[in-house]
Structure 1
Amino acid sequence: MADAASRLTTLAGELLGGPLPVRLRAWDGSEAGPPGAPVLIVRDRRALRRLIWKPGELGLARAWVAGEIDVEGDLYEVLDRLSGVLWERPGETRSRLAAVRESLADPRIRTAVRTLFRLAGPLPPPPPPAEEVRGRTGSRHTRRRDKQAISHHYDVGNDFYEIVLGPSMVYSCAYWTRDGTLEEAQHDKLDLIARKLNLSEGDRLLDVGCGWGSMAIHAARAHGARVVGVTLSREQAAYARKRVADEGLTDLVEIRVQDYRDVDDGPYDAISSIGMAEHVGEAKYREYADTLYGLLKPGGRLLNHQISRRPEPDESAYAIDPFIDAYVFPDGELAPMGRTLSTLEAAGFEVRDVEAIREHYALTLRRWVANLEADWARAVRLTSPGRARIWRLYMAASAVSFERNRIGVNQFLAVRTPVSGTSGTALRPRVWNEKV
């Protein structure tokens, strides 16, 4: 087993079809790879067993969550370098490691895999780390299963989210119009949405997936709107209700634990859906669009803020990211921007504006990672070492994905245009980027 790092570096080159762009340090203390490059540490051979059984993102993620692999140096640089090796095209959802099984007819690949088995030690693989999603029941995106998925991601403790998100408690892409703080950028995002929706005093706003209440509070406090916010997370709702009460806005803001499909007290003047549609799922997306359309009055506006993926060369090959599905957002699905637009139009909406803000999310995620790292010990106490490692990896890897244009984020402004074709006061001219 001497000089395991050199053997692993050689194997990685053979399996990936090119040299490993990071330096490796193995469990035996040996090192190999480009001098001066950031270091990927393989602390335990168990990590190799995970990769053999789950090649690709899920195997790597399980090893990371368990602490069997780590990084010395810039985490973003390691992820960026590995991204360039593991995925050939911006839109790919399956890594080259996951494709190794299809290459076993190649004698060179078979030899490399046999060597990897010897290095990995006794099989079978260790069990997955504890934070992996288990026990999902029923069909994807039923009300019951959606509630389970939302609980896994959001009900991990409001104190933990305070560390990551900071005082704004906004869990979606900020809008960076100045060299300011995260809180200022989140305020600018919320106000941009309010201006796109043309909110004014007395307007009824439905905030779908209201989170910890930030959009609802901003719309009521800054624009005088009457807001109903709905979420499936009881922890979020309790936190949001307290914030509303502390702000003295209980006469303007109501927070409900409610599925958006069960809202029946329309019509509303406007609907905001900020970072929620990723939970809906492709099979239910038309239902989502139809439901929101039906809840708006004629001339009413929808602002749909949503992460998108690059289109696949073969759309039938798209698969949910296995790490995200197992550890972060169970059942979360991303759609290409064009498909979202087409679905909104098919539901009857007139899409009046699309703004792509991909780079803004990379900046936001880097701030969240910095918040987590700055209060790491407390974050671990509030959750667990594995959970904190999940979040650090998920957010840093997502930042790199936005920077590399593997995923994007877009704001769609859509209108329930009346039959007459005139939209009345709902489309009063407004310069969206003016500061309020």
Structure 2
Amino acid sequence: MADFSSIDPQTLAQQLATYDILSLQNQLKTKTSTMDSQKKALDALKTALTDFRTAMSGLNGTGDGMLKNAVSLNREGIASVTANSSALKGTYNIEVNKLASAHQIGFDEMSDESIKNASGTMDITLGEGSNAKTITVNLDEMESLSDLTKAINGDKDNPGVTASLIRTDGKVTMMLSSDESGAKNTIAVSGTAGFDSANAKVISQASDSEITMGEMTFTNSSNTLDSLIDGVTIELTSVTENNKPLTISVGTDSTGTKEQLQTFIDSYNTLQDTLTKLTKSGNGDDETRGAFAGDATMSSLDRELNDVMRQMFGGKRMSDFGITADREGKLQIDSKKLDEAIKADPQKLNDLFNGKEGMLTSMDKSLDRYLNSSNGLLKGRQEVLDRQQKDIDTKTEAMNSRYDSSYNRYLKQFTQLQQAMSQMNNTMSMFGLA
């Protein structure tokens, strides 16, 4: 008779319990592998779409679009000038007659002792007429000049006046400065403590900048002129000499414009590479099937992007600027055709890409259908994967419980069998039958 007393109940129980769940285990393994691939693919797609959207946003800023303009000046030291995408090419002659300055007044021979002994109030007013704003400082609470400047600067209702202390040759001057330049931003001081504008020394007059273009004269409260010429910002730093105007020439920056376009093309082609990889059908033996192969949502995304690329915006298509797609759907530039189109009418490039209803805005709307954090299609896809993961987790937990139940049952049975066979062998030994 065979000796079953040497069997290992634990090993046998483990083997049979594993066999009981083998089919379900293989199913869950296949589902988990597929789901993990789709999770990775979804993350890769989100990243690619977000990166592309970020690149588009950088190319579709206010006044900073696809077209880049360059500025040249006939002399240095008068102004710094920049031109954004909306600036029209042209030449402008400007005479700078006066720079804007902020109002500054000072009170001489100040001391901590004079402030400590002062009483009453000090009223500081900025501006004139109905736009004037005033703060009142109680000098009874002041112990030093430092206390006074802190009280002025720290007042929550301060209209835009900064107090500072100027120390020279042992003497102290308290200076009050308007935070903004311009003739309308004047400082006036009055009150019961003896502080009065009549006793103050003017350090800097409040004045507007003044420029002349031909027979027209313009004034501005600051030295920044950002509405004089559309799309051009002028930062004045000095006045011009008589009959020697500053000449500003605005023209297209072809190199900068091509770099902007190349940024867009590179970003789009990178997105296309990702879509191609994720939707690859895997027809050949050496190809790996994409996680989203045959997926209707991914096909819709690719189709939408391509449709937008072929549409007309601002009366132009991308192909009018030498930008076309190759057989793989990737964009490429015909530099010669681009140069000719920009030379003919550079603003049309802006109209195409950056118009109010331009290509980049239209493309962003398409992407929002997929990337919207509230109801985007990719969010919906992620929720489906999350539900599938929960289902797999539930089934895995049930499978583990089934394994434990089977293992314990088999272990009990084989342990009992082992014990019974051991007793039988002992009995047979007693009668010399073993």
Q: Same fold (TM over 0.5)?
A: no
The two structures have a TM-score, normalised by structure 2, of: 0.22
Higher relative contact order (CA 8 A, sep 6+): 2
Larger Rg: 2
More strand by share: 2
